[in-house]
Amino acid sequence: MATNPIGAPLQKPVQERESVVIRFAGDSGDGMQLTGMQFTTESVLAGNDIGTLPDFPAEIRAPAGTLYGVSAFQVNFSSKNVYTAGDDLDALVVMNPAALKTNLPDLKPNGILIYDTAEFTESNLKKAEYTQNPLEDGSLDKYQVYPVEITKITTLALKDLNLPNRSVMRCRNFFALGVVSWLFNRPIEPTQKWIKERFRRNPEVMEANLRALQAGYHYGENTEIFASSYEVKPAPIAPGTYRNITGNTATALGFLAAAYKAGLPLFLGSYPITPASDVLHELATFKNFNVYTFQAEDEIAGVGSALGAAFGGAIGITTTAGPGMNLKAETIGLAAAVELPLVITDIQRAGPSTGMPTKPEQADLLQALYGRHGEAPLPVIAAATPADCFYAAFEAVRIAVKYMTPVILLTDGYLANASEPWLLPAVSDLPEIKVEFRTDPHGFFPYLRDETTLARPWVRPGTPGLEHRIGGLEKDYLTGNISYAPLNHEQMVRVRYRKMAKITQDIPPTKIDGPDRGKLLVIGWGSTYGSIAAAVKEFQEQGKAVSHVHLRYLNPLPADLGGIIARFDKVLVPEMNMGQLLRVLRAEYLVDAVGLNKIQGRPFKVAEIAARIARMLEE
Amino acid sequence: MATNPIGAPLQKPVQERESVVIRFAGDSGDGMQLTGMQFTTESVLAGNDIGTLPDFPAEIRAPAGTLYGVSAFQVNFSSKNVYTAGDDLDALVVMNPAALKTNLPDLKPNGILIYDTAEFTESNLKKAEYTQNPLEDGSLDKYQVYPVEITKITTLALKDLNLPNRSVMRCRNFFALGVVSWLFNRPIEPTQKWIKERFRRNPEVMEANLRALQAGYHYGENTEIFASSYEVKPAPIAPGTYRNITGNTATALGFLAAAYKAGLPLFLGSYPITPASDVLHELATFKNFNVYTFQAEDEIAGVGSALGAAFGGAIGITTTAGPGMNLKAETIGLAAAVELPLVITDIQRAGPSTGMPTKPEQADLLQALYGRHGEAPLPVIAAATPADCFYAAFEAVRIAVKYMTPVILLTDGYLANASEPWLLPAVSDLPEIKVEFRTDPHGFFPYLRDETTLARPWVRPGTPGLEHRIGGLEKDYLTGNISYAPLNHEQMVRVRYRKMAKITQDIPPTKIDGPDRGKLLVIGWGSTYGSIAAAVKEFQEQGKAVSHVHLRYLNPLPADLGGIIARFDKVLVPEMNMGQLLRVLRAEYLVDAVGLNKIQGRPFKVAEIAARIARMLEE
Amino acid sequence: MSTASAPKLTRKDFVTDQDVRWCPGCGDYSILAQVQKVFPELGVPRENIVFISGIGCSSRFPYYMNTYGFHSIHGRAPAIATGLKVSRPDLMVWVVTGDGDGLSIGGNHLIHALRRNVDLKILLFNNRIYGLTKGQYSPTSELGKITKSTPLGSADHPLNPLLLALGADATFIARTIDVEAKHQQDIIRRAAEHKGSAFVEILQNCNVYNDGAFAALTDRETKADTQLVLEHGKPMIFGKNRDRGIRLNGLTPEVVTLGNGVSTADLLVHDEHDPVIAFLLSRMAPPEFPTPIGVLRVEQKPTFDALMNRQIEEAKAKFGEGDLEKLLHRGDVWTVP
Amino acid sequence: MSTASAPKLTRKDFVTDQDVRWCPGCGDYSILAQVQKVFPELGVPRENIVFISGIGCSSRFPYYMNTYGFHSIHGRAPAIATGLKVSRPDLMVWVVTGDGDGLSIGGNHLIHALRRNVDLKILLFNNRIYGLTKGQYSPTSELGKITKSTPLGSADHPLNPLLLALGADATFIARTIDVEAKHQQDIIRRAAEHKGSAFVEILQNCNVYNDGAFAALTDRETKADTQLVLEHGKPMIFGKNRDRGIRLNGLTPEVVTLGNGVSTADLLVHDEHDPVIAFLLSRMAPPEFPTPIGVLRVEQKPTFDALMNRQIEEAKAKFGEGDLEKLLHRGDVWTVP
Ligand SMILES: Cc1ncc(C[n+]2csc(CCOP(=O)(O)OP(=O)(O)O)c2C)c(N)n1
Ligand SMILES: Cc1ncc(C[n+]2csc(CCOP(=O)(O)OP(=O)(O)O)c2C)c(N)n1
Ligand code: SF4
Ligand code: SF4
Ligand SMILES: [Mg+2]
Ligand SMILES: [Mg+2]
């Protein structure tokens, strides 16, 4: 018989589930992000594979109870491999009517719905724009509804601590977490440990939160309300040490690791913008790694300062989102012309213009490829999952330095904030990043190129005898002196193109997930990875000849991609845009690929992709 | 017997030519642009069709005699229709050794070469980096060489005026013009008139220039040096009133005409940049037409102020070149989101980065189409010839206002400065531009759309009862209030796309120059018009099934284009870039079109396109 | 601005139907309230008023004002407003911006609008933090400020908004405080009346990311000692007992206590028209000095928009209303029969 | 900056093999000559010097200096230079810019570099015109300026570069003139020696598009009457006969003639460390006043680059040199067997 974490024998029957998708939703002040993160940690330590999806309101602190102030966090935990945070919900915890209203549509029929009874007051219902009380009008009939007196019991549990009411209310999320932890047989020790660490300077609050958590757990165990609890067995996970990581943290660590491997200082020039700011926040804490973080006056100064640092011999990077990418374009063009290494990171959000800053989209791909005047081709690399941001960032630096070129790294607002378990690599296993600054004046020309990479030499100012000048005017092919010679210009434009082509030598053979020929090839890039992978898997399990290729390199494209495409009858390109990779593939391979386009500021559901695959297989 | 313009009977025989390409080249201080312009005027009044191509040095005022200080002006005048300024030269006039060195490669074998003997001094040869004197080493043997004592005779002719030497030297260009005017039987009255007008406040200089001109003319007539003169008969030109016009002037007039027809003030917000500045300069002289010209602190403020003016109900426009386009991208995205009319003009120059500012290129097309974050599709319109800039600018305003959308207008540094005769339209014949500002508060919503155009209403602040707020955040489909609703976002993105599609209803049937089906279709856009048209014509005259389509609308593409393409065996797309329209056509129509790409900062020669056409017909 | 037959408006006429989405307790609420209170008094019809903002919490302001409004992009409001005001001199154009929006990314447009003296009323909400992006330091944050982006403290010497405005030769420079309702109303009224660029710094509490930044200045206990309320033509006196003042020692200002031979006559008298006084005031800051609030400087200069429109009128007077047909035919034309 | 074993350099060591492509007669030639003349004296090895410029005639400067150089894009040199200087404090970084590059498109980067006190030496060539783009007015052109883009005269009140620098609280502010070889050399030397942002306005004649803009100031006939040459600690005297000076009347400066009861002792004494004097000087302009040249202001403040590097050193001292393996394993990790 299993024991519960508090040591008492479990009283109620346990049902096994392969996987569960749960969402916590409440006011932004209700601590739902924290609750979700802790539930994630508990699940990870329970051995499940997981996927998460936070969903913040756009407002900093919207008035309590409003629809636009709802904050949510979704966790998918499973005994099998997890690709996404899940489509529809098996369970939904709502702290107030607004959270119910905005989240209920995602709950599966017969799904578990837990709500806080105390919050369904007339005034809260009105704030949530309910004309009828949903608890009473039959609209919840198709769900397993569990009214829980979250506020009331939390208050009771903390009564003798004599805390101000505000502080008590702040503990309700831990009560809810306790309930849910019991319901899904999660260990609560990690959360207890976290509370103790977090509030170590504030013993009263620590005690209050611990009690709330425990009270919730006991509530599940002891009240009649839940007939059984659920268990999700550990997933088959590769051995090793893991941590849970968001895309933005992974991006920051990837850059850090690359500079570390290169043995050079890292210089981040950036200007805050949602959802990119956290990379700046994160890197700002690593100063002892020779990391310079410069919050510039705007995006232009952000990228300009990074370029200046690159000129000085540092790993120069900049981070932003769409609006900032516009502003950086001119400097990126300069970097392309002077051929210095630089990584420009675009953490895409829904546009156009200010758009929906907290929502993800993949609509900056064509801008990354073409968003500069003149012919200024650049490598473009995209991350597929939160942890993959680490490798993508690392690879971006590696390519930049090896080929002496700016590189554009694309992630998005979903990857930025979503998290997944990350099997920690050994630092020694990471690829080498070899930098040899030129020091020999003999035969030196600023634009003399390495034959295999077409890279020009990187020279640190301070090196005697190599004084030279670079700039954005067209340059002589060898000396780099200003040149207006017509044929020289053509030669320079073409060599910058040829350099891009050279990079294909660094692209590993394309991994085809599924048979290497067949009926349908699904091609994706970026954060759609999980949804596509899960959808394709469904068909592969049914024995269908459907495969998945997920592109990391958007420019140059892998040399073998055309051949692969040719071996499939049809090609589907799901994107969170109006068909940007689709355009690239059609132009490049003259393939009549079709797009599946969702532009709602949220990721694809697996089912949405699966439905389209099914239709294409039928047609 | 013909009489020369001075009234004396012509003494020497006259040879007839179908057309002549001549280039004047000298130091930037030598007045070659002026000489070329005057020769153009003379030719136009002689009834020829003409094409011109100025070529300025990049430097403001390079040291005299240097290679990079050479300024040139090329004129193609003909008794047939002219499409370009001509490929190779029939005649070349050089004022110094540097001009000889940089221009001689373009002179046809047996072409006429006129040079100023006085300038071939040792020191000038050195400045031109000649190690041997080209007059003596046989390198001119294959040309008809005419050494003319330009400096000496000009000095003699002006001797009794007692002008300072500097002023005398400044008259040499008119002497040269006199010689050449005689040689090609051009009337010199227009130039005499021009000199009288230009120097009316400076009688001495007037007299000097008139004398120099006349002296040159007499020199041709009287000296033994030229055995005969040449005549180019008038071309069959449509009746009407003409003026010679450069692309930049035509662009300015096109905007002016559109605002005039719309009955609204014109507001140009701009920041100087080569080769766009002249549009600002030009419009700044039209204040009595209710034209506001604002030289902003940068390009962002340029487009921002224009958008502000558009919000206020003016025709808002901005003008720039590639580097400025980068900077404007964010504001263009905002304009797309708020759906206000605005015309952004990119007068393309050779990039990337600062590139070669005085040289043309067509490499900003993809930036115009995709150079913004998010999905922000915009109409893109390109001008084909200098005079066509008028109609393209006019059309850009018309579309912007009718569909309530920013429009990007593309011209380039070649069109900007090149000139051609323009058959002046009657103002009443220009299309109507009807603007109805909304004034009725009844049933008003800021994003309520017109059914046929999908345009939202244009409301002038100051209108009572229609107070409303717009912005760059995603908006509700109808009310325009901020909305983060997922499906609303998708609906908004798609309606912005649908609006682009609607514009196809304004695109006239595509004009096919040549048979409407056949072996080869050459598709071009922008300033390559002349070279492509001339090349295609050569083959058509040989009875080959080669046709030419020149696109004015790059987005949306004409609805009938796919059908046309399908009727040809092959498609060739000549561009002054690495194949940008090519990519668009390949993606759109899955046609295996091929590109002919020249990126040398100068226009295609007709022969270059013809050679490729020939090869494609053979293959 | 047509102020002719404006019907009498009330505060409510300036309220929109949109939910105000600032954090509960944000200083922006008070600013909104004061503006909505003062506006009916201006006598300008609602439809002739336009609010233009950039991006930031502060820049949401236009949504809540029932006038014409444009919530644009980060830092660019002064540029957009310039285009509007120049081409529509009949409108009254307000710009709302923040310390990040107006002084970081938008600093250049701000100084150029000020130096051109475009007739714009610019309200800069200075909370010394980036609110909307959740708490990075701003150009007005103090040196050593610990924020999300500067966990070890910022290394930037801050910008002084009033000094910068003076550096751009602005013709109206003032400072007020979110919670000082009456003072704020006065300043807004003065700004509205000024013909030319009016630059108003409003110290604003961001209770989420920089709470208490101006506590010493607004606390009932201390404010009499920390605020120097400027009045034109009046000596600079402050303090709970109105017993302290500012005196010049050579060219250097100093705080003195009245009495003991120091009298009001020794104190510096505020003169809105003296640029040197404006300079001295713009540099006065705690702990050495009280914080001056009020109008530091006023100067009359032709506005950019007026000059631009005058050029158009003069051109019309000189050349006549433009005739396109004629213009096209100007210069070297020729006719082919 | 390593100045240790620098071999003795000469003027020629700073000359490159590139043809100088300014117009014959351009004031830029003289500036180049003075810089090349002074540099050997600085004792900084050539390889440790970097010139960064934007776009404009002036911005071609780096091509002619045999040091490291970066001719970047319009207006962005201060931003690029900041990144370089922060990450390479061992280098001596110069910025060359123009009145358009530095004050129009690049105004924001300039004021932010100045307020941060990044250790950059900024030379702004002010010819009051856009040279490279062939003659449009600039932010320093006088009101009513007739240029290609303003055929009816400009409607913009000009920016005052020195006042703006003061508005950004720059720690070193100076002005000199292209043709004043000796004075220019002194100022360049002083700028080089200053630890922090040094802002130097160099009045420069563009003989093609704005010839004679400073004629009154440079003509041998008039210059003694039109230049006010500043010397720290010395009274402000000028004039051919050194008989005129600047006196303060209250807070208002005025020109007085010595004699008739006015003596040198009545004159304002220049003090580079007094911000009010800098303010007064920055606003003095013809025709009422002579044009001050020299160092207006010097202040010592920690530099941004030094503070940024100190943070790194302190972090290392506190947390030890970063260990990536450890960092990756920080926090909630778990091991799957
Ligand atoms: C081009 C661009 N860069 C960055 C951002 C992100 N951003 C939005 S508001 C803001 C700063 C807000 O600070 P402030 O102007 O002080 O306004 P507050 O929120 O404090 O009122 C930033 C960096 C953006 N929207 N656009
Ligand atoms: C983004 C961008 N906008 C505009 C230009 C065109 N441009 C080059 S230099 C210049 C102004 C030059 O003026 P200034 O800085 O005073 O330098 P000067 O030539 O007078 O020395 C302009 C507008 C450009 N190169 N890049
Ligand atoms: S974050 Fe600060 S400034 Fe923004 S709304 Fe909240 S309290 Fe106000
Ligand atoms: S245009 Fe003026 S500033 Fe530029 S090089 Fe010529 S003279 Fe000098
Ligand atoms: Mg702020
Ligand atoms: Mg200049």
Specify if A249 maps to a domain.
yes
What pLDDT does residue A222 have? 87
- The tens digit of pLDDT for each residue in A150-196 reads 999 999 999 999 999 999 999 999 999 999 999 999 999 999 999 99
The 3-state secondary structure of A111-127, one letter per residue: EEEEEEHHHCCHHHHHH
Q: Which of C251, C329, C323, C246 is nearest to C288 (CA)?
A: C246
Of A100-109, A349-358, C5-14, D283-292, give the lowest mean pLDDT range: C5-14
Q: Does B292 touch chain C (CB under 8 A)?
A: yes
Residue nearest to atom 8 of ligand 4 (CA): D26
* Chain C, nearest residue to B259 by Cα: C324
pLDDT of residue D3: 47
pLDDT digit string, tens, across residues B217-227: 999 988 888 88
Domain holding B348, by residue range, is 243-429
Name which residue sits closest to atom 5 of ligand 3, judged by CA.
C22
Ramachandran sector of residue B319 (left: φ over 0; alpha: ψ -120 to 50; beta: rest): beta
pLDDT at B423 exceeding the cut of 60:
yes
Supply φ then ψ for residue A143, to 5 degrees: -115, 160
Q: Is C39 in the pocket of ligand 1 (CB under 6 A)?
A: no
pLDDT at site A3:
41
Cα B551 to Cα A136, B248, B510, B559, distances in angstroms:
63, 20, 8, 12
The structural domain count of chain A equals: 3
d(CA C104, nearest CA chain A) in Å = 5
Residues A462, D90: C-beta atoms closer than 8 Å: yes
Pair (B352, B412) in one structural domain: yes
pLDDT in tens, B342-376: 999 999 999 999 999 999 999 999 999 999 999 99
B163 and B31, same structural domain?
A: yes
Distance C77 CA to ligand 5 centre (A): 15
Same-domain status, A248 and A194 = no
CA distance C108 to C75: 9
- Mean pLDDT rounded to a whole number for chain D: 96
Length of chain B: 619
How many A from CA of C79 to the centre of ligand 4? Answer: 29
Residues A200 and A274 in one domain: no
* Predicted pLDDT at C8: 86
Cα-to-centroid distance, A524 and ligand 4 (Å): 53
Ligand 6 mean position, distance from CA A472 (Å): 19
Provide, as residue numbers in chain B, all residues whose Cβ is less than 8 Å from the Cβ of C333: 241-243, 424
User: Which parts of chain A have pLDDT scores under 70?
Assistant: 1-11
Chain C contact for B43 (CB, 8 A cutoff): no
- Intra-chain end-to-end CA distance of chain A, in Å: 52
Distance from CA of B467 to the nearest CA of C (A): 5
My answer on whether B286 and B221 are in the same domain is no
How far from chain centre, in Å, is Cα D69?
17
Q: Show which of B231, B253, B273 is a domain's final residue.
A: B231
- Both tokens assigned to B310: 């558009």
User: How many CB atoms neighbour CB C334 within 10 A?
Assistant: 15
Q: What pLDDT sits at residue C330?
A: 87
Query: Which pLDDT does position D331 carry in this prediction?
Result: 78
Q: Are residues A207 and A266 in the same domain?
A: no
Angle at alpha carbon of residue B299, lines to C313 and C159, rounded to 5°:
100
Domain boundary among B373, B397, B429: B429
Tokens of A609: 């992709």
DSSP B530-542: HHHHHHHHHHHHT
ipTM: 0.96
A213 and A307 share one domain: no
For residues B146-161, give the mean pLDDT.
Answer: 94
Q: What is the per-residue DSSP string for B228-284?
A: -EEEEPPP---SEEEEEEEHHHHHHHHHHHHHHHHT--EEEEE---TTTHHHHHHHT
pLDDT value for B5: 46
B295 occurs within a structural domain? yes
Same domain, A285 and A147: no
Nearest-CA distance D176 → chain A (Å): 27
| Atom of ligand 4 at shortest range from CA of D204 | 3
Residue B226 within a domain:
yes
Which of D19, D20, D21, D23 to mutate to test ligand 4, by most ligand atoms within 8 A of the CB atom?
D23
Is pLDDT above 80 for D7?
no
What tokens does D293 get?
A: 């040249």
CATH code, domain carrying B84? 3.40.920.10
Across the interface, whether the CB atoms of D132 and B60 are under 8 A apart is answered yes
Share of chain B above pLDDT 90, in %: 93
Residue C302 Cα, ligand 6 centroid: separation in angstroms? 25
The per-residue pLDDT of chain B, averaged, comes to: 95
Asked if residue D98 has its Cβ within 6 Å of ligand 2, the reply is yes
B356 shares contact with chain D (CB less than 8 Å): no
Is pLDDT above 60 for D6?
no
Residues A162 and A310 in one domain: no
For range B308-327, the mean pLDDT:
98
Condensed to tens digits (0 to 9), the pLDDT of residues A548-563 reads 999 999 999 999 999 9
A341 lies in some domain: yes
B173 with B31: CB under 8 angstroms?
yes
- H or E segment to which residue B402 belongs: helix B388-403
The predicted-structure confidence for D27-69, as pLDDT tens digits, reads as follows 999 999 999 999 999 999 999 999 999 999 999 999 999 999 9
Q: Quick one: which of B270, A315, A268, D224 has its CA closest to C79?
A: B270
Residue count (chain A): 619
Same domain, yes or no, for B226 and B363?
no
In a domain, B179, yes or no: yes
CA distance D190 to D193: 5
Domain end among A231, A256, A285: A231
Alpha-carbon Rg for chain B, nearest whole angstrom, is: 27
Q: Do A238 and D336 touch (CB under 8 A)?
A: yes
Is residue B384, in this structure, part of any structural domain at all?
yes
pLDDT value for C332:
79
Indicate if B214 and B265 belong to the same structural domain.
Answer: no
Q: How far apart are CA D300 and CA D280, in angstroms?
A: 20
Q: Round to whole Å and give the CA distance between C188 and C174.
A: 9
For residue A555, the domain's CATH number is 3.40.50.920
DSSP string for C53-116: E-SSSGGGGGGGBSSEEEE--TT-HHHHHHHHHHH-TTSEEEEEEEHHIIIIITHHHHHHHHHH
Q: Answer whether D149 sits within 8 Å of B277, measured CB to CB.
A: yes
Residues A211 and A84 placed together within one structural domain of the fold: yes
Residues paired with residue A343 on neighbouring β-strands, in sequence order: A317, A407
Phi, psi of D81 (to 5 degrees): -65, -35
User: What is the mean pLDDT of the segment spanning D130-153?
Assistant: 97
Residue A237 lies in a domain: no
Phi, psi of C86 (to 5 degrees): -65, -45
Task: Give CA–CA dist A340/A485, Å, rounded.
Answer: 23
> Nearest-CA distance from D144 to chain A in Å?
32
Task: Please indicate, yes or no, if residue A589 is contained in any of the structural domains.
Answer: yes
Q: What per-residue confidence (pLDDT) applies to B1?
A: 32
